[in-house]
């Protein structure tokens, strides 16, 4: 049998990995042209009034998503915050997954609303619709759904619940730009779709975000929160919101030059996502006969865009080998593997101590809070269990060309480590 790299043997993964973010030659060309244009056209440097390259990008992005209303923002977090501000007020509740990047829930807290956590589906790791209704109270205003890792949640079932209880649905698509369910883009099912085109995301121009809304009314309310009065003034003219035109806003607009890059990257988002999927599918197929690592599950009709590949570690298939020993051996073979959500959001200190940045314990201690909020171990057992079995592997989010030879090396590395499980147990 071959010798493990961690024991001095040869490393399995020796092909170069992909880099991310990545600019194409065409990105560089359009970037240079935009800088040149900025010498005489202010809309390349000033986003306050809208228009210019930002508007071009917005129109393309909306058409790509199949959405009617929306605008670009400086970050995905901006879109989430604005959506939460429109959807709920102080002391009101938004249901949310505890298994996400913190900002999914952070946006709820920024609106001084209260996150109420619902457990996740063990297969897709997204909000479990079967667990939602139990958590709805007369304070619930919205359901925040994250499509984690780029894997679409069961949004149709969630929309049916939201309609029954008259709740808003906010989709956090920061990791899922371009993902679809039955051919429809995520972010267009709910009332709000929030996207990121920040540096690590599936389409990137350095930093950026986008909000789409289902109705014009939500769009106007969101614009009043996050856009400059020079722009939102034009949008709400002649509507009942006109009197609220004001500079009491968040400065959430993006840089127009980033929009130029975003617009160019959008053209190849589908192609990049198709390669991510091809490489990841190849990996999932290869995992089928390797013990210890269970491939990701994708719902029927859904198209995952593999911002990350999160598998499940199954120590029972490897004689109980602790994950840390497994990942250390894999790392030595040249394959990085890590845990993305080590601790569910509600078990972290800000929630446990009711200290979200400053103040006096708000939103939990806000006079508008209807009850006492406690977050404790056992609240969402499936999410808590992920801390023990998550196995995010490789660089799938950056694989926007054919990387199957590298993926084959990943598989060889995993197989090799699995075959040496007994030996590693004895270490
Ligand atoms: C699930 C999720 N939501 C929101 C965000 C925030 O996006 P941004 O960094 O563009 O603000 C991220 C960023 O990593 C994310 O992964």
* pLDDT, tens digit, 9 for 90 and up, residues 93-141: 999 999 999 999 999 999 999 999 999 999 999 999 999 999 999 999 9
Q: How far apart are CA 363 and CA 386, in angstroms?
A: 27
Alpha-carbon distance of 264 to 272, in angstroms, equals 13
Instruction: Answer whether 256 contacts ligand 1 (Cβ < 6 A).
Output: no
CA of 282 to the centre of ligand 1 (A): 27
Verify whether ligand 1 is closer than 6 Å to residue 174 (CB atom). yes
Question: In this predicted model, what pLDDT tens digit does every residue of 172-210 receive, in sequence order?
Answer: 999 999 999 999 999 999 999 999 999 899 998 999 999
Of 218, 216, 226, nearest to 254 by C-alpha is: 226
Ligand 1 contact, 110 CB (< 6 A): no
* Model pLDDT for residues 255-313, shown as the tens digit of each residue: 999 999 999 999 999 999 999 999 999 999 999 999 999 999 999 999 999 999 999 99
Is 189 in contact with 162 (CB distance < 8 Å)? Answer: no
Find, among 117, 112, 116, the residue nearest to 360 by Cα. Answer: 112
| pLDDT over 70 at 427, yes or no | yes
> Does any ligand 1 atom lie closer than 6 A to the CB of residue 76?
yes
Which among 72, 76, 170, 187 is the best mutation to test ligand 1's pocket, defined by most ligand atoms within 8 Å of the CB? Answer: 76
C-alpha 407/C-alpha 12 separation (Å) is 11
Range 351-355 average pLDDT: 95
Please state whether the predicted TM-score (pTM) of the whole model is above 0.85. yes
Mean pLDDT of the chain: 97
Question: Please, what are the domains in the chain?
Answer: 5-21+271-341+384-426 (3.90.1150.10), 25-268 (3.40.640.10)
Query: What was the pLDDT predicted at 358?
Result: 72
In the reported structure, the alpha carbon of residue 198 is separated from the centroid of ligand 1 by a whole-number distance in angstroms of 8
Torsion of the alpha carbons at 346, 351, 356 and 359, rounded to the nearest 10: 150
Distance between start and end Cα atoms, the chain: 17
Cis omega (within 30 of 0) on the bond before 322? Answer: no
Query: pLDDT tier at 360 (50, 70, 90 boundaries)?
Result: confident
Confidence of residue 385 (pLDDT cuts 50, 70, 90): very high
Q: How confident is the model at residue 359 (pLDDT cuts 50, 70, 90)?
A: confident
Determine if ligand 1 sits within 6 Å of the CB of residue 144.
no
Tell how far the Cα of 423 is from the centroid of ligand 1, in angstroms.
40
pLDDT at 395: 97
If pLDDT is split at 50, 70 and 90, which confidence band does 1 have? Answer: low
Average pLDDT estimate for 338-347: 96
């Amino acid at each position: 049998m071959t010798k493990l790299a961690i024991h001095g043997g040869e490393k399995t993964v020796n092909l170069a990995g992909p880099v991310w973010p990545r600019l194409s030659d065409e990105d560089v060309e359009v970037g240079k042209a935009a800088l040149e244009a900025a010498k005489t056209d202010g809309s390349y440097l000033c986003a306050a009034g809208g228009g210019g390259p930002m508007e071009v990008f917005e129109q393309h992005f909306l058409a790509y998503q199949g959405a009617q209303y929306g605008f670009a923002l400086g970050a995905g977090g901006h879109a989430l915050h604005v959506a939460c501000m429109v959807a709920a007020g102080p002391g009101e509740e938004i249901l949310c997954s505890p298994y996400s990047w913190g900002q999914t829930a952070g946006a709820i807290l920024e609106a001084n609303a209260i996150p109420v956590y619902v457990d996740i589906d063990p297969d897709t790791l997204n909000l479990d619709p079967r667990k939602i209704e139990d958590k709805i109270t007369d304070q619930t205003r919205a359901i925040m759904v994250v499509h984690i890792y780029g894997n679409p949640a069961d949004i149709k079932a969630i929309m049916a619940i939201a309609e029954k209880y008259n709740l808003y649905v906010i989709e956090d698509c920061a990791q899922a730009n371009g993902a679809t369910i039955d051919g429809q883009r995520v972010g267009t099912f709910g009332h709000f779709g929030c996207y990121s085109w920040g540096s690590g995301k599936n389409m990137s121009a350095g930093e950026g975000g986008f909000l789409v809304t289902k109705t014009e009314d939500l769009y106007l309310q969101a614009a009043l929160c996050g856009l400059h009065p020079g722009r939102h003034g034009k949008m709400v003219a002649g509507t009942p919101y006109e009197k609220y035109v004001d500079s009491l806003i968040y400065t959430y607009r993006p840089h127009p030059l980033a929009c130029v890059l975003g617009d160019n990257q959008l053209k190849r988002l589908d192609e990049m996502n198709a390669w991510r999927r091809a490489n990841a599918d190849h990996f999932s197929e290869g995992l089928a006969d390797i013990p210890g690592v269970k491939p990701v599950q994708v719902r029927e009709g859904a198209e995952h865009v593999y911002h990350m590949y999160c598998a499940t570690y199954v120590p029972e298939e490897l004689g109980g080998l602790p994950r840390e020993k497994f990942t250390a051996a894999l790392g030595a073979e040249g394959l990085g593997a890590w845990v993305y959500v080590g601790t569910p959001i509600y078990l972290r200190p800000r929630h446990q101590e009711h200290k979200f940045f400053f103040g006096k314990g708000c939103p939990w201690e806000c006079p508008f809070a209807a009850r006492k909020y406690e977050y404790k171990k056992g609240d969402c057992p499936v999410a808590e269990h992920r801390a023990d079995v998550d196995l995010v592997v490789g660089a799938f989010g950056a694989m926007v060309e054919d990387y199957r030879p590298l993926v084959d090396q990943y598989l060889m590395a995993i197989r090799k480590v699995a075959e040496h499980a007994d030996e590693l147990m004895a270490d």
